[in-house]
Amino acid sequence: MPYDDLSVTPPVPLSPRRPAPGVVETILCITGYFALQFGFGGLFGGLSMQLARRFPGAVPDAPDRLIVVVILTIACSAALTFWVILRRWGPWRATDDGPGGLGFTPPTGQFIALATAMGIAAPLLGGLLTKLLAGDHDVTQAVSDIADNAHLAMRIALLPVVVLVGPAVEELLFRGALLSLLRTRLGDGWAIGLSAAIFGLVHLPDLAWLWYAIPNLILVGVFCAWLRVRSGSIWPSFVTHAANNALATVAWFTATSG
């Protein structure tokens, strides 16, 4: 008598892969990260002021308190951004080293060495370029102004956020999501140039809208995007970005605490 073998589980059909995120969705992810910074910054900043009013003797002074706000703001914004992008792009795009992937693949040693050298060269070349364009005007970022007036321990506490967390999420956004979108539509050359320009321009508010500081950031963006394209991995661009930020923090440890 024919019968069904219930011990055999029928194959489960594979669900179709979702299409790659488009222009609007990618732009929303980038703007969403900075919107999260604004929101978390307001939340944690307001909370710190309330605590300072209620417990004036137990809460640190303003520069040190603001560093705690910056650390919490960037950490929370980065965590949510990573979750959204990796979930939306999917694991197979995350590990894809091609034009449409995020590039979370192991790089070769030669590209890590090259990335380190480019990360050291970027602030030196960019500093000369900024000095040429800015003349006698000073160029600082908001986070640098805060760190210059904080105590040494708080500057050290801020280092991992500025050198590691910030570059990681920005590489995911600009050399991961944005660059993959542009490469599939415009090709590598245009994608490198346009993504670098956008990377520089989005930092204008943090630079008090000083346009002559933007070419420096565009140069960093070109270096990072080129490394991502040539190596097939996002890690060399992260190394360059992290090294650039690390050198930029040297001034924090030569400044006088407030």
**In-domain check, residue 165:** yes
> What is the pLDDT averaged over residues 3-14?
51
Per-position DSSP letters for 202-226, written without gaps between them: TTTGGGTT-GGGHHHHHHHHHHHHH
**In-domain check, residue 97:** yes
Residues 6+ apart with CB under 8 A from 65: 48, 52, 59
**In-domain check, residue 11:** no
Token digits for 57? Answer: 């003797």
Q: Give the up-direction half-sphere exposure of residue 139: CA atoms within 13 A in the CB hemisphere.
A: 25
| pLDDT bracket for residue 217 (50, 70, 90) | very high
Number of folded domains in the chain? 1
| Residue range(s) defining the domain that contains residue 133 | 23-253
**In-domain check, residue 16:** no
| pLDDT bracket for residue 14 (50, 70, 90) | very low
**What would the pLDDT profile of 151-185 be if each residue is shown by its tens digit?**
888 889 999 999 999 999 999 999 999 999 999 99
**In-domain check, residue 146:** yes
**In-domain check, residue 72:** yes
**In-domain check, residue 18:** no
> What is the pLDDT averaged over residues 190-194?
97
**What would the pLDDT profile of 68-104 be if each residue is shown by its tens digit?**
999 999 999 999 999 999 999 999 999 999 999 999 9
pTM (two decimals): 0.87
Mean pLDDT of all residues belonging to the chain: 87
**What would the pLDDT profile of 29-69 be if each residue is shown by its tens digit?**
999 999 999 999 999 999 998 988 888 777 777 788 899 99
CA distance 100 to 21: 10
The residue that leads in pLDDT, 136 or 202, is 202
Token digits for 129? Answer: 């370029």
CA distance 20 to 14: 18
User: Residue 3: phi, psi to the nearest 5?
Assistant: -150, 160
Give percent of the chain with pLDDT exceeding 90: 61
The residue that leads in pLDDT, 48 or 251, is 48
**In-domain check, residue 205:** yes
